Amino acid sequence: MSQAAEAAYRTITVKPQPSGFGAEIGGVDLAKPLPAGQLAEVKAAWARHSVLAFPDQPLSLHELEAFTLEIGPYGVDPFVAPMPGHPNVLEVRRDPNETLTPFGGAWHSDWSFQATPPAATILRSEVIPPVGGDTLFVDAAAAYEALDEATKAKLAPLKAVHSATRAYGPRSGYAKELDQRSMPIIVSADADKTFAHPLVRTHPVTGRKALFVSPVYTIGIEGMTPAEADPILAGLYKHMVQDRFIYRHKWRVGMVLMWDNRCTMHNAEGGYDGHLRVMHRTTVAGETPA
């Protein structure tokens, strides 16, 4: 970060990753309403870095909800039952005896199969295992910008087809595993619905373009056969998950992480079989991708 950009923050500290993708934020207490100026600085840092980590935030569920609403109205969270008494909070839990792939354990952008996917996901760590459990993030804007001009031109008019069918449909992987998971996952025929969004999405705040596809929720390209679309998507996924575009987030207890689903995708790693992991999650409503 340049000295000029650093000086722009007066009420928070911002420690960016070397690439600028991802940053740790200090000087804030998320348990209390943020003053208008400080909230504006948090939102500016989020727009700049896409993934923000707030360490040492011992929030109650009510305080997590209140912070979420400072960022924006709640998103809609289908296919996972919310916590009792907290209809907008999901408990992302994996018990010590579970051996299946962790929830969210494949590359995706949260709920991209919706007509208006969430702008933000906010996740707070309650119980962190002593090993494993990192979350990986892809900078989908940087990945787009690294493409050659001919490829950008080829992708510009395309719309990707998104669906939850592979994850939550009646024939999905989760449908076969419900009795082996501690999370209250809901399998439904509604997951088979599809929505088409621009394959290259323009961020409504920054104006940066980003690839808006993922292996979990993108099932094709509008107007193309699978034989035509699959090689394009496979090539994009291989490009996006290069090390130069990835930020590996290492969790600490009581940390709040907020990421931008409009220009990232993420993947929850395992590696902690035999240990409990508990997180609390909310989403912030987004806009129609354009």
The pLDDT tens digits of the residues spanning 51-98 come to 999 999 999 999 999 999 999 999 999 999 999 999 999 999 999 999
Q: At residue 46, does pLDDT exceed 90?
A: yes
For residues 19-42, give the mean pLDDT.
Answer: 98
Q: Is 127 contained in some domain? A: yes
Q: Is 163 contained in some domain? A: yes
Q: Is 219 contained in some domain? A: yes
Name the 3-class secondary structure at 155. Answer: helix
Cα Rg, the chain, nearest whole Å: 19
* pLDDT value of position 175: 86
Q: At residue 4, does pLDDT exceed 60?
A: no
DSSP for 222-251, written as a single string: TT--HHHHHHHHHHHHHHHTSGGGEEEE--
Provide the whole-model pTM: 0.95
- d(C-alpha 120, C-alpha 287), whole Å: 11
Q: Is the dihedral of CA 171, 91, 77, 137 positive or negative?
A: negative
- d(C-alpha 160, C-alpha 218), whole Å: 6
Q: Is 270 contained in some domain? A: yes
Domain count for the chain, please give it. Answer: 1
| pLDDT band, residue 3 (cuts 50/70/90) | very low
CATH code, domain with 87: 3.60.130.10
Q: Is 137 contained in some domain? A: yes
Q: Is 290 contained in some domain? A: no
Q: At residue 2, does pLDDT exceed 50?
A: no
* pLDDT value of position 178: 86
Q: Is 170 contained in some domain? A: yes
Q: At residue 7, does pLDDT exceed 60?
A: no
Q: Which two tokens stand for residue 207?
A: 């104006």
Q: What stretches of the chain adopt beta strand conformation (E)? A: 13-16, 23-26, 51-54, 90-94, 120-127, 135-139, 159-163, 194-198, 200-202, 209-211, 218-221, 246-249, 256-260, 264-268, 277-284
* pLDDT value of position 176: 84
Q: In what order do the strands lie in the sheet with 135-139?
A: 246-249, 135-139, 264-268
Give φ, ψ of 16 to 5 degrees.
-75, 155
Q: At residue 6, does pLDDT exceed 80?
A: no
| pLDDT, tens only, 231-266 | 999 999 999 999 999 999 999 999 999 999 999 999
| pLDDT band, residue 229 (cuts 50/70/90) | very high
Q: Is 121 contained in some domain? A: yes
Domain membership of residue 52 as a residue range: 3-284
> Which amino acid is present at 158?
L
